[in-house]
A and B are shown apart, each in its own frame.
Chain A
Amino acid sequence: MGFEGIGASVRRREDVRFLSGKGNYTDDINRPGQLYAFIVRADRPHARIDGIDTAEAEKAPGVVRVFTGADMAAENLGGLPCGWQIHNQDGSPMAEPPHPVLAVGKVRHVGDPVAVVIAETRQEAKNAAELIEIRYTDLPAVASLTDAVAAGAPEVHDGVAGNICYDWVIGDKATVDAVFAKADRVVKLELTNNRLIPNAMEPRAAIGDFDTSSGDFTLYTTSQNPHVIRLLMGAFVLHIPENKLRVVAPDVGGGFGSKIYHYAEEAIVTWAAGKVRRPVKWTAERSESFMSDAHGRDHVSTAEMALDKEGHFLGLRITTLANMGAYLSTFAPCVPTYLYATLLAGVYKTPVIYCNVKAVFTNTVPVDAYRGAGRPEATYLLERLVDVIAHDTGIDKVELRRKNFIPADAFPYQTPVALQYDSGDYQTTLKVALANADWNGFEARRAEAKARGKLRGIGISTYLEACGIAPSAVVGSLGARAGLYEVANIRVHPTGSVTVFTGTHSHGQGHETTLAQLVVDQLGVPLSQVEVVHGDTAKIPFGMGTYGSRSLAVGGSAMVKAMDKIIAKGKKIAAHLMEASVQDIEFKDGSFRVAGTDKAKALHEISLAAYVPHNYPIEELEPGLDETAFYDPKNFTFPGGCHIAEVEIDPETGVVEMVNFTAVDDVGRVVNPMIVEGQVQGGVAQGIGQALLESALYDPHGQLLSGSYMDYTMPRANDIPAMSVATENTMCTHNPLGSKGCGEVGAIGSPPAVINAVVDALKDHGVRHLDMPATAPKLWSIIQAAQPRLAAE
């Protein structure tokens, strides 16, 4: 066996399964006697439901039952709960209107579930759904943030005045205003963060199963966090106690946040399975995904920086409108607050910051965390603003960043927006990225491109994020209705092989490999003797799942703690077997050794003694070698780094070609470099998608215009360049692994780098800023409009 521990690019153990077609995704599962659910969804953004006639559908071939919101309401089922409560600046709690599983009274967005048909086959359910007659009275609707907050705008929820979910602030306005009043210069930028649709390649699916003999429910679902779903659905929606409800999230085909939330369909199939006493399966068609998966981003902001004469940042003042959609998705309220505004210091020592966020209801699909969640919005705002400051002041954009960086010797560093960073070295990541991207050679490349008739630009982003989510008491004080620790159970079997039961969930991250590497490292067991189990509430202890780049920093730390307990117990057993004192036992490379002697017992000898306790300190020690640990992080972790994008624009067409992309990230300790690179590459591709291609568009009345892959531009292989990805790491100081997290850095750091490059390419065209996505028609118009002026010069 080669080196398989921390730091080895071990090839993934899950791959053979996926490469052979042996993956077990939710839609691959079929239960005996299974029925199919088809969900009838609102085809209009806002309407009163005057009546639903299901009589014809109920008589259609194959149909078993049809349910509507009234059926669920009759059983006093709960609505879909929201997991985070934000308070307004006046101290009152946010508006939290009900979110019925199936619409009651009104529909509020295109895609809102109204009824469900349960039938013998998928096709029969779908055919019958066409026979359901819903009588609506259309109501005026709002889709955009600016329309929703305009005076006299239609109200999405009765009694939520002005469609404001909350009006929240961080920082002291008077202090910040005073700094602005005395500043030498103020630079202002208005910008939007475009709405995105996550589009994990596996559409969501759910199967409800009901055991008629035991009365137990099982839900198979495409989830990033099965225990969270069990708690939310069992306790708040269906009133099923945990012991009667099992949630299985098997292989999941990508999540990116969109599979964190408790969705209506999960409750529908579980409840319906109990009603019809047969398993019920639902699989989203992609067009349903577009109108029912939580969307991401969608901010409109105004940002102002106060500066002194040399370009030092003195104060930052921001107002943001954030779209919540029609209902509050599970974690939606925390995204534009504690995952956004607390990041507005970025890598800079800006001394005072004020941010006001108004979260707004609209007649659109709910918006929640999507890869990066709040942090891409903060980073985009800051890194665009810094480039615009460079543009307006004439200060070199790299120099401007350097002079405002938090220095490497300033950690721990308390920002003015609540977070305390533990470690980082922004000058180093910047320096290495500039070298890797050949920043200094750029002007020659620009000239060469110009000779070919192309406009070439380079853009930089020096970003920071907060992940490893999160200290429970801290998030609790900020409104979380959950703890955010993680759990691991390490089971050393009698012959010394190991099974890890983790509360985290892998849906592409490769945990079956990386988490096993931690065991190799700490217990000295070969990889082939380690198994990682996740995704089934019947097997794993109560853990919070995977999002916010937390699996290694929090879940891995729980494993380290549990393995510490294994070693501590093993030492006692070893001391007994070798007749030595516990203090003299050392554990190294899989062996317990009496210090200074050649007496040793391997882990498997200790585990055998633990399970066959014939010669065993049975008075003081329980048999077995099986330990569980919960780890509650002491702080967030703070990955950061530098991304550099290089683009070429064809002035004839406006098409942007990504020619180079360089990432240098600080993600703390790296367990598997190959997997880290892959995570960064994938995140960067999503960031490039946001910057150049993707946009979830609604017409002013709330019809979703980008509702399929014909209209929503996904990045394809040809849109993404070969990337240079490297890490320059400083260690996280407060978790035992030193790891920070790498899942989101790509999507956080890259969008402003790309837009900064596009703006740089167009610098002769009078462009100071442009909004994402930088599509060809948009750029072509800008280039065309500038032609007369350029010709005249």
Chain B
Amino acid sequence: MPQVTLTVNGRQHTVDVEGRTLLVELLREKLGLTGTHVGCDTSQCGACVVHVNGESVKSCTMLALQADGDSVTTIEGLAAADGTLHPMQEMFREHHALQCGFCTPGMVMTAIDLVNAHPSGLTEKEIREGLEGNLCRCTGYHNIVKAIAAAHPLMHAKAAE
């Protein structure tokens, strides 16, 4: 069976996988990182979004083998070691941007990449367009948009420190 070596949330793993194993399957089933979710089979819901080398990727569309040598961050890897939430996590909580929580890991990972990619600011429209690949059935998006807008200055202030 082929092997893949990758770093997930700062820890290196070498795992046996089948050629067709998806990255999301490796994370959920081999590494027990069940925070990353699967909401569809057509790459459209975004529940599975993780960061690969810092950029958001739908982990249901990537083979585990393709992540060889990569650095992956999942929702479990966002908070600081002492449990302090990432500003995006904090703003999701503050603005009630989650209900059932199922879309949330993917939303948060997408949102962080979106904010990182727009250091000078994001309009409401840009946020909504940036969430194009993420479905939420619970919130109506209103509070997700608010949370992302609120996290933007916090994240960039932090980056400037």
Contact = CB atoms under 8 A, between A and B. Distances in A.
Contacts of B129: 717-718
Interface stretch (A9-17, A110-118, A602-610): A9-17
Contacts of B75: 19-21
Nearest to B90: A19
Nearest to A689: B137
Contacts of B98: 12, 15, 18-19
A709 B44 contact: yes
B66 interface: no
Contacts of B26: none
A18 B44 contact: no
A508 B38 contact: no
Interface in A654-705: 674-675, 677-679, 681-686
A408 B105 CA distance: 46
Interface in B1-56: 18, 20, 28, 33-42, 44-45, 47
Contact of B135 (A201, A203, A683): A201
B41 A21 contact: no
A12 B95 CA distance: 10
Contacts of B79: 20
B142 A16 contact: no
A200 interface: yes
A720 B105 contact: no
A710 B41 CA distance: 10
Interface residues of B, number: 54
A682 B128 CA distance: 16
Contacts of A677: 96
Interface string B74-92: 1110110000010001001
Interface string A707-743: 0111000101110101100000000000000000000
Contact of B37 (A12, A15, A202, A675): A202
A710 B129 CA distance: 18
A16 B84 CA distance: 10
B76 A25 contact: no
Given A675-B96, A709-B42, A717-B128, A508 B101 contact: yes
Contacts of A200: 100, 102, 137
Contact of A686 (B35, B74, B137): B137
B128 A12 contact: no
B34 A709 contact: no
A549 to B, nearest CB: 15
A509 B45 contact: no
Given A285-B41, A681-B143, A509 B135 contact: no
Given A15-B98, A253-B102, A508-B101, A716 B131 contact: yes
Contacts of A722: 124, 142, 145
A20 B76 contact: yes
Nearest to A22: B35
Contact of B34 (A11, A21, A201, A679): A21
Contact of B143 (A20, A507, A678): A678
A25 B102 contact: yes
Interface string A266-309: 00000000000000000001110000000000000000000000
Nearest to B79: A20
B134 interface: yes
A28 interface: yes
Interface string A121-145: 0010000000000000000000000
Find the residue from A11, A27, A718 having the highest chain B CB count within 10 A: A718
B132 interface: yes
A199 interface: yes
A640 interface: no
Contact of A709 (B40, B105, B128): B40
A708 B92 CA distance: 29
Nearest to A286: B40
Contacts of A17: 101
21 contacts: A11-B93, A16-B85, A18-B104, A19-B85, A22-B35, A23-B35, A25-B34, A200-B137, A202-B37, A286-B42, A287-B41, A507-B100, A508-B99, A509-B99, A681-B140, A681-B142, A682-B99, A708-B40, A709-B42, A714-B135, A722-B124
- Rank and list the top 7 A-B pairs by shortest CB-CB distance, nearest first: A21-B35, A18-B101, A253-B102, A685-B140, A508-B100, A508-B99, A28-B34
Given A201-B39, A201-B103, A286-B45, 11 more contacts: A12-B96, A16-B85, A19-B101, A21-B75, A28-B34, A201-B137, A254-B99, A286-B42, A682-B138, A709-B44, A717-B129
